């Protein structure tokens, strides 16, 4: 599959790039994508939730009423979960929600996601972004020239570009990342992948 290479101002350069079948032409594996997204979301959870159980509640330990003769149930502690302000039964405790996923499964998930994007014509390649200064306004203008200003876009660079990152971090529909930091959730969440020419070549060389 061939994709046209555009210039930073959105015009065609007359050149094309042939996408590698090893990355953009495999049969997608939905279950691998599901597992990788599940792991990513699980790793985002802080797991700091905590509630006090009856042993941790600070309340009086006096016996509330006599054991017999009241006609009601026995009551021996204000810390009981049955009492208002008492401890919680089997409340949440701090824990780590992360789980292990084999590298081969994660790699299959990523190339499956890329293959979906290629199949749906959701890949754009630009020569360079040319972000010489930090300016959100100028960055939006670049996206408009590429017809991506109204589309949820993931910009994939080969190396960190501080100007591009700072210019785009306030945009709700755009995220700038690098090949080393890319994750399955961002790929699947984006409606369009914007590769810089150098980044897509580096991606295919590592395959």
User: What are 66-117's pLDDT values in tens digits?
Assistant: 999 999 999 989 999 999 999 999 999 999 999 999 999 999 999 999 999 9
Helix (H) or strand (E) holding 194: strand 192-196
Model pLDDT, residue 130: 82
Q: Are 139 and 171 in contact (CB under 8 A)?
A: yes
What is the SS3 assignment for 164? helix
Query: pTM (2 decimals)?
Result: 0.83
In DSSP terms, 80 is beta-bridged to none
CATH fit for domain 2-46+98-206, picks 3.40.50.720, 3.40.50.2300, 1.20.1250.20, 3.40.1370.10: 3.40.1370.10
Model pLDDT, residue 54: 93
pLDDT above 80 (res 171): yes
Q: Are 25 and 87 in contact (CB under 8 A)?
A: no
Residue-wise pLDDT for 122-167, tens only, equals 999 999 888 888 999 999 999 999 999 899 999 999 998 899 999 9
d(CA 26, CA 105): 14
> Residue 70, CB half-sphere, CA atoms under 13 Å: how many?
9
Model pLDDT, residue 37: 97
What is the SS3 assignment for 4? strand
pLDDT above 90 (res 9): no
Model pLDDT, residue 61: 85
Token look-up 């014509």 returns 121
Model pLDDT, residue 78: 93
Mean pLDDT, the chain, rounded, equals 93
From the number of C-beta atoms within 10 Å of its C-beta (0-12, 13-18, 19+), residue 114 rates as: buried
Model pLDDT, residue 132: 86
Model pLDDT, residue 176: 95
Model pLDDT, residue 48: 96
Q: Are 25 and 1 in contact (CB under 8 A)?
A: yes
């Amino acid at each position: 599959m061939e994709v046209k290479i555009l210039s930073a101002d959105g015009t065609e350069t007359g050149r094309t790039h042939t996408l590698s079948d090893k990355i953009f032409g495999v049969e997608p594996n939905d279950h691998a994508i599901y597992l990788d997204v599940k792991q990513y979301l699980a790793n985002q959870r802080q797991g700091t939730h905590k509630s006090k159980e009856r042993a941790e509640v600070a309340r009086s330990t006096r016996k509330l009423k006599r054991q017999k003769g009241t006609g009601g149930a026995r009551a021996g502690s204000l810390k009981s979960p049955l009492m208002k302000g008492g401890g919680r039964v089997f409340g949440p405790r701090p824990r780590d929600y992360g789980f292990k996923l084999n590298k081969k499964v994660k790699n299959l998930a990523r190339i499956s996601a890329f293959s979906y994007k290629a199949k749906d014509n959701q890949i754009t390649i630009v020569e360079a972004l040319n972000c010489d200064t930090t300016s959100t306004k100028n960055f939006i203008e670049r996206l408009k020239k590429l017809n991506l200003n109204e589309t949820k876009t993931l910009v994939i660079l080969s190396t960190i570009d501080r100007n591009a990152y700072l210019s785009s971090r306030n945009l709700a529909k755009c995220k700038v990342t690098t090949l080393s930091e890319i994750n399955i959730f961002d790929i699947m969440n984006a409606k369009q992948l914007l590769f810089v020419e150098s980044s897509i070549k580096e991606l295919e060389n590592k395959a």
